[in-house]
Structure 1
């Protein structure tokens, strides 16, 4: 099937992504429906999903998300790219089973823990950790100490690290519940949700499940190439899955790059929104590691190379980002000192006076949301970074 649609330039891809991420216009709907539509939200930091949902949903109430976590309708579990995501209960039983091989690779390449973990049978480690965590939820430190009883010559943090990669582990509330605090405590999806995870030992069942996940990815992130899908989920060799869907998809071509070489073939759902490239895009604040920035092999549809380099940190951390005209143009961070909260905006490129006013207005709304309990709140500007 040859690409049937027009060549899509950077702005066309940007507006399509923003529309599907509900960043062009905040959506009226439930938190659970939004989490399902986005196929999860990056949630390495427990409070990141609150900012992500505030920027996407009209009249977002943080207690709604907290209630979903406490009610076990939404969970925080390692899924795409073996990173912690906020997902629906159904997806918590589906996605980790599809991406289990990522965790297995993580054990084999476990950095400072590799020597310890390579000497262990991963099946035995997973079985032992599952028995302990399904009997009683535990912190990683306590799990490591309990596993040390079985492997006394191993380091406890290495054992806990291996269990995290080998099992679908829920981070239980009250951690990540708005207005509450709690240590990281693990149990399995099976114990927490009272249902068995989806089994994908049968190749046909796995293929069908991956097809549906690709459809959902395109609905939230498309148009996209095979490489984009693979970057988002963290798996390889997905070309056969995408090819099997070709008859129900439309194909486009990305605009040629600076070298003049033809752009990648892009696939999409026929009826998915593809707005006019000149559609106005409001200022939006995104949390650290938002999936809108991480889910494509070619991320220039939302963040330019100079801005991406300026955001890089040696420790692997990432600040929040600010979209101006649909693209990353600034970074932001929130500081709390006693009863005061300060949101700092750091431009990554020169902003016009109108852009600065729009950013400042949205920043005022965000700091009021994030620091509603602070006696004083302020928005300040920092000097811009340069690549």
Structure 2
């Protein structure tokens, strides 16, 4: 039985951060903002030397295909290790430090091919039961938290404390998450970007909000989601609630990742096609939000990278989700998990990043609107999207979008 898994808690915030970062190099003012961003971001030494990509002359197209791991952290601290204020956590419906945190509730690999005019974002369900190097088989979202907790304990015993301790522990968690993703997908991760709870709210607000569409009204006290049916613009804490809700939805985590991908595609269209880069106030706010909420791998030269993305547009960004075999795999110690076949995942990933549409030079701005996939495959502009017929005997899957792009 093949099922398309679509579960995510803090959906879209990491892609929001990276999409914003990748395309800042459009105007002279944008260049100056990128220089400011380079000096304001928290960085971590988490990429193995063998996976680091050498710099190329500024302005030349991307010469080497690259894979970026984006994570949305359910973290109660800022990238610099200082704690988020309780009033901020309350506004985000995040609870306190004892209510969770330090798991990668969003894990997405973005593949950017040679030329830099297209991209493929592949979601990995947070509960995928995989081999985590050094820890055995567990849910993939725990790779970060397990290594982080181990390193934090060791360093605390050595006398390290405060923000320095939190940042060092975060780096260990990032390395573990990267290792788990590489083992599952077969891809080498060249770059890493992480966004926390408050960062997502700030980023969505900085661009003036994102238009989304719901099939029916929803109300959920857990996430704070309270929305009418139909098309609407969400930002700040409302955007976070939109992508966090899973209680009260017909298909739980399946519907949550549907929202994630819908939000990501709409966000890409907003950032790439709404004049963000020619509006000094909006662009400055976006850079401020990124600087206060995003952690990047040490050595990632954003200015150079942005210059290598020639012609990237919303129509050239595809979204997909790895295939899964079951949503209720019983595990010895992790409860129910998502069953995945690593060989099948690797085959799927290679098919997506090798497709002609991804390898091509990319579309033109405004050439199409991307929507989330209901089949686990790459998402094409809406006019080109097709849904494969599921294998015989496969239960009917919840449809993620209608023709208008609305989700549960």
TM-score bracket, normalised by the shorter chain, equals: under 0.3
CA radius of gyration, larger in: 1
**TM-score, with normalisation over the residues of structure 2?**
0.26
**TM-score, with normalisation over the residues of structure 1?**
0.27
Higher helix share: 1
